Structure 1
Amino acid sequence: MATVLIPLAQGCEELEAVTVIDLLRRAGIEVVSAGLDKQPVRASRGTVLIADTDLDSALQQDYDMVVLPGGMPGADHLDNDPRIQALLKEMAANDKYTAAICAAPKVLASSGVLGDKKATAFPGVLEALGKTPAAGAVVADGRVITSRGPGTAMDFALKLIEVLVSKDKRDEVEKGLAK
C-alpha cells in the first residue's frame, strides 16, 4: 500500500488539504497528515484542522509521496521549514513523488526539486520566481506533480491516485464521487 505524507502548516488552504486527504484515503492509500508543530492547524479560512501527528513524529517513517497543500501563509510556513526542505530533497534523491498545489509549488522550487520541470501553480506564483507555468489544471513531469488551486484540488487528488495506485482505482474513486 502506498504511503503519503501531507504536512499541514498554519494558514494552509483547507479545501486542498481535506480534499487530497479524503480522496487518497478513499483509494486505500495510507495518508499521514502532520502539523508542523503539535498545535491544531488554523487554515486560511479559519477552519481548524487536527493533524494525525506532528511533523517530527511523522518523519520517523518513509513515504512514497509528499503532498504540499497551498494557501497563504501556509505555503510560506512550509517554505521556511528546514525539515520540509530536507524532506523534499531526500524524496527527489530517492526517486519518490513530490506534489504541490496552489502556492506550494514555490516550496518545490526553493528546495531545488522543481528545477526545469514543467509545473503549474496559483496564478502569479511561478511567474514571481521567473518560471512560466505550464498549461493545464494538473501537470505531471516525472515524479513532480503540481496543480493550480482550490478549484483543481479534486482533479489533483485523482491524478495522485492514478500515479500511486492505478487508472482503474482513480476511475473507481471518481465514479463514487458522482462527478
Structure 2
Amino acid sequence: MARVLIPLADGFEELEAVAVIDILRRAGIQVVVAGLGAGPVKGSRHTVLHPDETLDAVMNEDFDMIVLPGGMPGVAHLREDARVRELLERFRSKGRYLAAICAAPSILAAYGHLDGKQATSNPKFKDQVAIDRVRYREEAVVEDGTVITSRGPGTSIPFALALVEKLAGRDKRNEVESGLVLPA
C-alpha cells in the first residue's frame, strides 16, 4: 500500500489539505498527517485539524509521496522549517513524488526542485514559481516526472485524483472519481 506524508503548519488552506487527505484515503492510500509541532493545527480560515503524528515522529519513516498544501501563512511556515527541506531533498534523491498545490509550489521552486520542470501554482505566486529553468503552465494540474503541482482550492479535487492515479493506477482513480459524483 502506498504511503503519503502531508505536513501541516498553522495557516494551511483547508480545502487543499482536507480534499487531498479524504480522496487519498478513499483510494485506500495510507495518509499520515504530521503537524510541525504537537497538538492541533489551525487553518487559514480557523478550521482546526488534529494531525496523526508530529513531523519529528515520522521523519525517518518511508513514504512514497509528500504533499504540501497551500495557504498562508502555512506555506511560509513549511518553507522555513529545516525538516521539511530535508524531507524534500530525501524524497527527490530517492525518486519519490513531490506534490504541492496553490502557494506551496513556491517551496519546491525555492529549493530547486522545479529546475528544468513544468509546474503551476496559484496565480498570486507565479513570480515565485516561474523562475529561471521552470516552465510555468496555467493548467489545473501539471505533472512532470515525479513532481505534481496544482493551482488552488478549486483544483484540489483534480489534484487529489491525479495523485491517486500516480499511486494506485487509473482504475482506482476512476473508482474514486465515480463515487464523488462530480459535475460533467
Shared fold (TM-score, shorter chain, > 0.5): yes
SS in 2 for 1:113: coil
CA distance in 1, matches of 2:10, 2:100: 16
| Alignment correspondent of 1:108 | 108
What is the root-mean-square deviation of aligned Cα atoms in Å? Answer: 1.0
Tell me if 1:48 matches 2:37.
no
| Alignment correspondent of 1:136 | 139
CA distance in 2, matches of 1:126, 1:117: 14
Question: How many equivalent pairs are there?
Answer: 179
Change (3 A) 1:29 1:129: closer
Q: CA deviation at 1:130?
A: 4.5
| Alignment correspondent of 2:93 | 93
| Alignment correspondent of 2:149 | 146
Tell me if 1:26 matches 2:26.
yes
Q: CA deviation at 1:60?
A: 2.7
TM-score when scaled to structure 1?
0.97
SS in 2 for 1:139: strand
TM-score when scaled to structure 2?
0.94
Match of 1:178 among 174, 178, 181: 181
8 Å contact from structure 1 (residues 127, 133) kept in 2: no
8 Å contact from structure 2 (residues 44, 72) kept in 1: yes
CA distance in 1, matches of 2:127, 2:170: 32
| Alignment correspondent of 1:162 | 165
Change (3 A) 1:130 1:30: closer
Q: CA deviation at 1:58?
A: 1.5
| Alignment correspondent of 2:117 | 117
SS in 2 for 1:158: helix
Q: CA deviation at 1:31?
A: 0.3
Runs (4+) of structure 1 moved beyond 2 Å?
Answer: 128-133
Q: CA deviation at 1:124?
A: 2.7
SS in 2 for 1:126: helix
8 Å contact from structure 1 (residues 97, 143) kept in 2: yes
8 Å contact from structure 1 (residues 98, 143) kept in 2: yes
CA distance in 2, matches of 1:47, 1:78: 18
Q: CA deviation at 1:113?
A: 1.2
Q: CA deviation at 1:178?
A: 0.8
User: What letter is aligned with 2:46?
Assistant: G
8 Å contact from structure 1 (residues 69, 101) kept in 2: yes
Q: CA deviation at 1:121?
A: 0.4
Q: CA deviation at 1:29?
A: 0.2
CA distance in 1, matches of 2:68, 2:93: 18
Task: Could you tell me which runs of 5 or more consecutive residues in structure 1 were left unpaired when the two chains were aligned.
Answer: none
> Deviation per CA, 1:60-103, whole angstroms, max 9, x where unpaired?
31100000000000000000000000110110111100000000
Identity %: 56
